[in-house]
Amino acid sequence: MEERWLVGVDIGGTTIKMAFISLQGDIIYSWEIDTDIINKGKHIPASIARSIDQKLEELNQTKNQLVGIGIGAPGPVNSEDGSVEVAVNLGWERFLLQTILERETSLPVVVDNDANIAAIGEMWKGAGKSAKNLICVTLGTGVGGGIIVNGEVVNGVNGAGGEIGHITSVPKDGSPCNCGKSGCLETVASATGVVRLAIEELAFTNETSILRDYYDGQPLSAKRVFDAANEGDELANRVIGEVAYHLGLALANLANGLNPEKIVIGGGVSKAGDTLLKPLKEEFIQFAFPRVAHGVKIVIATLGNNAGVIGGAWLAKEKLINKLVLQ
């Protein structure tokens, strides 16, 4: 039989990443389209369907070539019907993504949360390769998470499993979080959190810092803070130390409950590499149960923006091919 393709889709607030992927997890063709958020995101499934058709035509292929679609959405997903509870960025509320996309494409569809499919992607082809027990944390504008136990994503009872970003890190007087709580890990370990901590530190002291000169002229970014830390700036190093402390504490406590083989750190902030990883490992070891610390490797994600589409393809392969065989 000629090799068929999986379709991986990763919906973001501004772009939708899409790819045709082989059954072995190799990207055959990838592209992206703008996210059409007008009318509360109601046209998104139709625009995905249209784009798949166009791409097949360009590549001289037919829909028979495709096994099905695995798609990640930026919000909690009900695994029973593949609906998205809420996705603020897109305007979705109780959105029947699986049903609508199946109707629009005539293909079977599997839906999961975007952070979960990124974790699956890293498990299948990235930094988590071969690990069946892993924690994946994405440090971007927010903090996303995916937890895989025995090769299966932890979705939980109502789709909120793996919400690592909302672990309480500052129990008293923490900064407000988008989720309605305050003091979440996201408020200190996201790119936004790093910048906020730096600005607070600059306001708190008069000491000289490279960041003070930057900050006077232009907006601060997480990258600037890490660059300054690399150049030996003490204030910036304190800020990174605080980020590493909170992240190390949260990940160690999670790991104490899960005993994972790998912890994969992804997202824009992870580009800091060793500047983040070194202090993070030091903090982690302090708080992890010794046998847990001994069993785990903390690594930087390797798939970048492709993690989501590859994880989506894996889901399609696991959930749809098995289903086809059974029928």
Site membership for Zn ion, residue 135 (CB under 5 A): no
Nearest distance from C-beta of residue 217 to Zn ion, angstroms: 32
Nearer to Zn ion, 98 or 169 (CB): 169
Q: Which stretch binds Zn ion (CB under 5 A): 170-178, 225-233, 250-258, 274-282?
A: 170-178
Q: Tell me: does residue 88 bind Zn ion (CB under 5 A).
A: no
Least Å from the CB of residue 167 to Zn ion: 9
181 binds Zn ion (CB under 5 A): yes
SS3 sequence, the chain?
Answer: CCCCEEEEEEECCCEEEEEEEECCCCEEEEEEEECCCHHHHCCHHHHHHHHHHHHHHHCCCCHHHEEEEEEEECCCEECCCCEEEEECCCCEEEECHHHHHHHHHCCCEEEEEHHHHHHHHHHHHCCCCCCCCEEEEEECCCEEEEEEECCEECCCCCCCCCCHHHCECCCCCCCECCCCCECECHHHHCHHHHHHHHHHHHHHCCCCCHHHHHHHHCCCCHHHHHHHHHCCCHHHHHHHHHHHHHHHHHHHHHHHHHCCCEEEEECHHHHHCHHHHHHHHHHHHHHCCHHHHHHCEEEECCCHHHHHHHHHHHHHHHHHHHHHHHC
Q: Which stretch binds Zn ion (CB under 5 A): 110-118, 168-176, 183-191, 258-266?
A: 183-191
Binding region for Zn ion (CB under 5 A) out of 107-115, 152-160, 169-177, 239-247:
169-177
Binding Zn ion (rule: CB under 5 A), the pick from 59, 88, 160, 179 is: 179
Using rule CB under 5 A, residue 252 touches Zn ion: no
For residues 264 and 280, give the distance between their C-alpha atoms in angstroms, rounded to a whole number.
12
Given the rule CB under 5 A, which of 3-11, 174-182, 192-200, 230-238 is the region that contacts Zn ion?
Answer: 174-182
CB of 326 to Zn ion, least distance (A): 40
Does 86 participate in binding Zn ion (rule CB under 5 A)? no
Nearest distance in Å: CB 121, Zn ion = 24
Residue from the set 117, 135, 177, 292 that interacts with Zn ion by CB under 5 A: 177
Would you count residue 188 as binding Zn ion (CB under 5 A)? Answer: no
Give the residue with the Cβ less far from Zn ion, 164 or 292: 164
For Zn ion, which stretch binds (CB under 5 A), given 181-189, 195-203, 206-214, 304-312? 181-189
Q: Which residues bind Zn ion (CB under 5 A)?
A: 166, 177, 179, 181, 184
